[in-house]
Chains A and B, each alone.
Chain A
């Protein structure tokens, strides 16, 4: 079974721009969660989507948004990028009901200059 895939793996953007990251979950998984990882703050939960609906949300500003499609693929968008948004963005998928184990993708390394 293929694992979680994320595209692109690396991205360089300029302050003020916006960016869209993509995540394809493990086949059969209906829940996708997004995390931001930085050296200073560690792994921080952004949001979770299940069956195209946002089920949980972390403490991030409204510039961070996401969505999930009917095939469970998910995208997250960050608008008006700031230098502090430079981070590794990780996506994790799970069955979503019952079995709650989350499996991570390799991440997208975003650098904002």
Chain B
């Protein structure tokens, strides 16, 4: 089936460090979405990207929609302990169907 390759699979960083994760696909998407999921909860939408090349920020989070429309990255600056969780990218076709990456597990050491 259709898949997104999300990397890295996991990260263990020191508080204050910057974090970068990305997703690539063989498919072209109309929209890229980035979510964060904490234990026992559903994914929470962080950032939505709608145009190739678009760079969008939400506080310490910055995400970009790749020029080829097949990739996206998410950066977190100056990480804090509450950034801990699993981050998912999702590519959306023009039909609305979402395909998710396998997730990046982030752990932050105070």
Contact = CB atoms under 8 A, between A and B. Distances in A.
Contacts of A96: 96
B100 A42 contact: yes
Contact of A102 (B1, B41, B95, B98): B98
Overall SS of chain A's interface: strand
Contact of B33 (A4, A58, A102): A102
A56 B43 contact: no
Interface in A11-42: 31, 33, 35, 42
Contacts of A42: 100-103
Contacts of A44: 100
B56 to A, nearest CB: 12
Nearest to B88: A43
Interface in A78-97: 90, 92, 94, 96
B78 interface: no
Given A43-B100, A59-B1, A100 B42 contact: no
B67 interface: no
Interface of A: 4, 31, 33, 35, 42-45, 48, 55-56, 58-59, 90, 92, 94, 96, 100-107
